[in-house]
């Protein structure tokens, strides 16, 4: 039976938004903006603000950027994520982080075992499976149980040894993370080897300290409250602890964005927005990823015994992506204003020691962009129409040659 197209019931105009979206993607103009999405001029902040009013060119903080300026920031951030190939960059960073994270887990668990009961903490850790992927809980929990079986006197020696090994191993992972931050901020590495190594070692120790504090807040605090006789406040602490973890995560991300890139440090107010975005995406995404693994994904059928490792790798990649997207967002916020966003005395553009502070990002002219896109789509449609018309005309004028098999042979006379 042939299908009958019924225009009255199908309402084809419902497809118009999707057709418009497809046309915008297919016929977008090929002209790429200059590297870094920067304008090719340098002026004083007031002059920039007069030339481009309503975009926050003279904003002294992100809170003073108007809505039109935030539209420019979101547009450039999306473009830079594609231009910098952020998923591939995050994949490279994830490789080095995975090489460093397992000895770091050993040092972290050893540090935690010096101040708390490892076996009891492992049981409490299982309660976080609804928020963090089960594979992460499984890997950390197994390490906790292994150390719990050791003699307490050996724990200090294990801590010192694994701490030294993990910090040395994590140096490559932290350097790769800093390279990703340099990509997000359009910077080249300018620090010498010793300074860079000192920063990576300090950052690694800070990351271990952050994990220890977060674990104390999420896992050890209920045990401590129970030992002190405050178990009745446990129901109040459960929602409060996540607010504490969110605040600590924002602070940790802000520190990374301020000291990680190879450039003159940005002021704190210019790194907080990206830290909030990254921490919110990381916590919310971890919750969604955990739900996906527990309810929809079937990694066991595909990867077998490696399913936990694969899920753990995906989670690490997602965490790195959140960190780099927050860095891109911070960079474009700083790129929106012509005011000096770096620490120290006020300096003119070109002398601030940071690409995002020394340049101003391109604005999004929505009407002009749509006009260029419509013009490109119209030219493309005209070309297709001329090509189709020429094909039809050639088919009409060209004679089909006769079939040789249909020719009759004349008798020989």
Nearest to 123 by CA among 213, 211, 217, 219: 219
Contact 296, 348 (CB under 8 A): no
Q: What is the mean pLDDT of residues 118-141?
A: 67
pLDDT of residue 148: 54
pLDDT score of 322 more than 90: yes
Please state, in angstroms and rounded to a whole number, the distance separating the CA atoms of residues 112 and 118: 7
Global confidence as pTM: 0.74
H-helix or E-strand containing 4?
Answer: none
Q: Which pLDDT tens digit goes with each residue over 3-26?
A: 444 444 444 445 555 555 555 444
Distances (CA, A) of 180 to 33, 183, 205, 241: 22, 5, 19, 31
Q: Which two tokens stand for residue 253?
A: 């991300």
In three-state secondary structure terms, 266 is strand
pLDDT at residue 155 above 80? no
Q: How far apart are CA 262 and CA 243, in angstroms?
A: 31
Q: Could you read off the pLDDT of 261-316 as tens digits, one per residue? A: 999 999 999 999 999 999 999 989 888 888 887 777 777 777 777 787 888 888 88
- What are 344-387's pLDDT values in tens digits? 888 888 889 999 999 988 888 766 556 666 777 778 888 788 88
245-266 burial, b for 16+ CB within 10 Å, e for fewer?
beeebbebbbbbbbbbbbbbbb
- The set of long-range contacts for 94-97, using a CB threshold of 8 Å and a minimum separation of 24, is 94/313, 94/316, 94/317, 94/320, 95/176, 96/172, 96/173, 96/175, 96/176, 96/177, 97/173, 97/176, 97/177, 97/316, 97/320
Cα 194 to the center of its chain, rounded Å: 29
Q: How is the chain split into domains, by residue range?
A: 80-94+170-337+354-358
How many Cβ atoms are within 10 Å of 101's Cβ, its own excluded?
A: 20
Q: How far apart are CA 111 and CA 161, in angstroms?
A: 11
Q: Comparing C-alpha atoms, which of 105, 139, 117 is closest to residue 220?
A: 117
Q: What average pLDDT is seen over the chain?
A: 77
Confidence at 30, pLDDT banded by 50, 70, 90:
very low
């Amino acid at each position: 039976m042939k299908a009958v197209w019924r225009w009255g019931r199908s309402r084809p105009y419902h497809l118009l938004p999707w057709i418009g979206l497809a046309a915008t993607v297919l016929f977008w103009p090929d002209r790429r903006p200059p590297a870094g999405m920067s304008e090719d001029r340098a002026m004083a902040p007031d002059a920039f603000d007069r030339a481009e009013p309503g975009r926050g060119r003279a904003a002294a903080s992100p809170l003073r950027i108007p809505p039109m300026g935030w539209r420019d920031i979101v547009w450039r951030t999306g473009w830079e994520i594609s231009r910098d190939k952020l998923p591939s960059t995050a994949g490279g960073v994830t490789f080095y982080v995975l090489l460093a994270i397992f000895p770091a887990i050993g040092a972290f668990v050893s540090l935690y075992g010096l101040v708390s009961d490892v076996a009891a903490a492992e049981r409490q850790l299982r309660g976080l499976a609804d928020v963090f992927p089960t594979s992460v809980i499984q890997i950390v929990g197994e390490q906790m149980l292994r150390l719990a079986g050791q003699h307490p006197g050996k724990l200090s020696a294990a801590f010192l040894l694994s701490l030294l090994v993990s910090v040395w191993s994590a140096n490559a992972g932290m350097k790769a993370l800093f390279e990703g931050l340099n990509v997000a901020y359009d910077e080249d590495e300018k620090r010498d080897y010793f300074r860079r190594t000192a920063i990576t070692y300090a950052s690694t120790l800070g990351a271990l300290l952050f994990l220890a504090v977060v674990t104390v807040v999420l896992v050890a605090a209920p045990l401590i409250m129970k030992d002190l006789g405050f178990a009745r406040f446990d129901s109040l602490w459960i929602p409060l602890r996540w607010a504490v973890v969110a605040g600590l995560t924002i602070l940790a991300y802000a520190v990374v964005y301020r000291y990680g890139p190879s450039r003159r440090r940005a002021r704190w107010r210019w790194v907080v927005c990206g830290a909030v975005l990254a921490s919110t995406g990381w916590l919310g995404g971890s919750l969604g990823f955990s739900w996906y693994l527990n309810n929809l994904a079937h990694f066991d059928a595909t990867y077998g015994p490696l399913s936990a490792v694969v899920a753990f790798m995906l989670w690490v990649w997602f965490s790195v992506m959140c960190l780099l997207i927050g860095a891109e967002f911070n960079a474009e916020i700083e790129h929106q204003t012509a005011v000096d966003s770096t620490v120290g005395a006020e300096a003119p553009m070109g002398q601030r020691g940071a690409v995002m502070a020394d340049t101003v990002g391109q604005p999004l002219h929505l009407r002009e962009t749509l006009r260029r896109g419509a013009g490109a789509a119209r030219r493309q449609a005209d070309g297709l129409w001329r090509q189709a018309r020429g094909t039809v005309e050639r088919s009409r004028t060209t004679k089909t040659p006769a079939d040789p098999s249909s020719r009759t042979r004349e008798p020989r006379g």
